[in-house]
A and B are shown apart, each in its own frame.
Chain A
Amino acid sequence: DIQMTQSPSSVSASVGDRVTITCRASQYVGDRLVWYQQRPMKAPNLLIYGASSLQNGVPSRFSGSGSGTDFTLTISSLQPEDFATYYCQQAATFPPLTFGGGTKVEIK
């Protein structure tokens, strides 16, 4: 199975800050990398697919990059509603789907 490793596990930031989250796959996944946002007590929400394609309705301050094994999610200017936990997921090999351990974005 492909293991997904996210860093950091948590980050403290202020409104307006630029935040970067990284995700590393244990094997090559090409561009088959997906990012989700999960607000507290809510279901995950698809943000980005194909490593860099923004899902409909997701604000443009979110962006994704990378290919192969190393990926990045960037929030260019953090907004209050962005305080949440973010997960990456590989889709290159199925089954199983595998997720990263999550990165919690907290208010500084």
Chain B
Amino acid sequence: EVQLLESGGGLVQPGGSLRLPCAGSRFTSGNYAVHWVRQAPGKGLEWVSAIGSSGGGTFYADSVKGRFTISRDTSKNTLYLQMNSLRADDTAVYYCATKMLLTSYVALDNWGQGILVTVSS
């Protein structure tokens, strides 16, 4: 079973930047499409971004397009979400999750524990 662990969260001022790593054990990141999903305090799930398996593309929600960048370092089995120009409404727990290998469509079968990002002055 793939295990994922997010880090890099914390308190940042509006307009600031953070980079969230998502590291995996038993996880060769190039084999998996990986998604970021966030959850604002007391709210539901919101898809943020995704990166395809090796050779695949990158995808973003309209709410983060142009501000967030997803990337991977296969040598470190780590995914990254670079978040720039942060706003108060980016405050959320951020989860990384892998797309199920069994299906052609996106079902997220392995999730990290989540990391809290708070954007506030």
Contact = CB atoms under 8 A, between A and B. Distances in A.
Report, nearest first, the 5 A-B pairs whose CB atoms are least far apart: A91-B105, A97-B47, A43-B111, A49-B107, A95-B59
Interface in B47-103: 47, 50, 59-62, 95, 97, 100, 102-103
16 contacts: A32-B105, A36-B108, A38-B45, A42-B113, A43-B111, A43-B112, A44-B95, A45-B111, A46-B107, A89-B106, A91-B105, A91-B106, A94-B59, A97-B35, A99-B45, A102-B45
Contacts, number: 70
Interface residues of A, number: 25
B28 to A, nearest CB: 20
A71 interface: no
Given A43-B95, A43-B112, A97-B50, 10 more contacts: A32-B105, A34-B108, A44-B108, A55-B109, A87-B44, A89-B108, A95-B47, A97-B37, A97-B106, A99-B44
Contacts of A32: 105
A33 B49 CA distance: 19
A6 to B, nearest CB: 9
Interface of B: 35, 37, 44-47, 50, 59-62, 95, 97, 100, 102-103, 105-109, 111-114
A56 to B, nearest CB: 9
Given A97-B35, A99-B46, A99-B47, A49 B100 contact: yes
Interface string A44-86: 1110011000010000000000000000000000000000000
Among the interface residues A92, A95, A101, which one has the most CB atoms of the partner chain B within 10 A? A95
B60 A95 contact: yes
Contacts of A101: 44
